[in-house]
Homo-oligomer: A and B are copies of this chain.
Amino acid sequence: MRRTVHPSGLRVLTEHMPGARSATVGLWVGVGSRDEQADRDDAPGSLGSTHFLEHLLFKGTPRRDAMRIATSFDRIGAENNALTAKEYTCYYAKVRDADLESAVEVLADMVTNSVIDPGEFETERGVILEELAMAADDLADVANERFFEAVLGEHPLGRPIGGSPDTIRGARRDDVMAHYRGRYDPSTLVVTAAGAVDHDRLVEQVLRALEEADEDRWSPVRDRAPVRRPVPTAAPSPGASPSSGAPRGAQTRLFRRESEQINLMIGTGGLPLGHPDRFAFGIMNAVLGGGMSSRLFQEIREKRGLAYTAYSFGASYSDGGVFGIYAGTGPDTAAEVVELAQAELRGIAEGGITEEEHERALGQIAGSSALALEDSDTRMGRLARAELGTGELLTLDASLERFAAVSAEDIRRVAALLADRPRTVVAVGDVERTGLRE
């Protein structure tokens, strides 16, 4: 792994993978939906503007119109896309080694020189409304959004990434433009690449592409001058501790939709990025709901046949987190599944895990991590998330050592920590038939 920090603040990280014939490159901007201002009087429609902006960056620069951007990637068969998360935005492409330079050039042009044409803005509003409509029809997705809102309460991390149909209908080009101008600069940009990549050459390509940027805010790259910008102060997150603003008691939230299944989410505030218990949590989560042999899968699916899918997960952010269990089940069995899920978490909180489970989880983490790291896209993303998150990037071996150092008591304790926090249940579907009550 190699890392270069340019005087302007721009960071470039690469990981060369011997034998790879392709590479994945991503331009990451350290800004996400949490950074939007919900209550700015002058920008009522700013929620969803980070994601709106991500779409607009595909719509053209002075050098390339939208069609030219699309053809630049299609003509080389690139796997090209972008994603907006709560704390970052990413534009990426996976390409054959010979196509890396051209991908970097187009991505850099998109990110630094977007025109945000007013006509394209209106057309894209329609596309985003369709994207939100598609998400609204996906009831597992709806359950997930409502669950994050319920667990994180009023915290900006609790908001849906894409905004709502109302905020998108109200979005103004000026707000999105202000977001773009105020947030996209050399200090927030992290370029990562993995696979068939040469670090020095990539740094050179990135600098050359950025030196050509039209907007003044990129001139520090050319001038080798540091960007001085106010660092946004993040609000304290309610997920980090049970006493910081999240819901104080157990809550059940029901959302009625025409459906066959009830989409259930059960959980609470989780661990923030870099939390010392994150390795213990990883093992606990594998045993609780991380595979076919996990307790949730065995209890809910294999023994009782109540669900096709049942798993647990953690999501971590700079100052908060979410822990959750998902299961899809019939209306008649939803209340039973909620009880079973909580009982399995309590079971680990009270009795810990077996030695066999402990050993199996370590093997599972070692094997699945090794497989994941064979993909250049996984490595590219890991570099960026570490750089934008805790700043700590462990090698696979160092990370496995940390997992191996976790004690059985650490695992029991992290389960107890989560089991003791106020419990949120979200159900989406034909909820009247479930017997669940708010």
Contacts and interface: CB of A to CB of B under 8 A. Distances in A.
Chain A's interface size range is 35 or more
A66 interface: yes
A115 interface: no
Interface in A50-80: 58, 66-67, 70-71, 73-80
A367 B292 contact: no
A364 to B, nearest CB: 5
A134 B79 contact: no
B293 A367 contact: no
A363 interface: yes
Contacts of A429: 137
A359 B75 CA distance: 8
Interface string A295-316: 0011001111111110000000
Contacts of A292: 58, 70, 73-74, 80
A297 B71 CA distance: 12
A167 B89 CA distance: 46
A367 B305 contact: no
A253 interface: no
Given A261-B133, A292-B70, A364 B301 contact: no
A355 B246 CA distance: 59
Nearest to A329: B130
A7 interface: no
Nearest to A292: B70
A149 interface: no
Contacts of A301: 127
Contact of A370 (B22, B138, B309, B374): B22
Interface stretch (A92-100, A175-183, A415-423): A92-100
Interface string A313-341: 00000000000000011100000000000
B302 A123 contact: yes
A428 to B, nearest CB: 10
Contact of A259 (B78, B124, B137): B137
B304 A126 contact: yes
Given A131-B308, A261-B130, A364 B77 contact: yes
Given A137-B139, A302-B123, A367-B99, A130 B307 contact: yes
Contacts of A374: 20-22
Contact of A79 (B99, B329, B360, B371): B371
Given A67-B298, A371-B22, A134 B78 contact: no
A302 B66 contact: yes
A198 to B, nearest CB: 18
A290 B79 CA distance: 12
A404 interface: no
A73 B363 CA distance: 10
A16 to B, nearest CB: 13
Given A18-B19, A99-B367, A123-B303, 11 more contacts: A73-B291, A77-B365, A79-B371, A94-B371, A95-B371, A129-B330, A131-B308, A134-B308, A136-B260, A137-B261, A258-B258
20 contacts: A18-B19, A22-B370, A22-B374, A70-B292, A70-B297, A71-B360, A74-B291, A75-B364, A75-B367, A76-B363, A76-B364, A96-B370, A122-B305, A127-B301, A127-B308, A130-B330, A134-B260, A137-B259, A137-B429, A375-B375
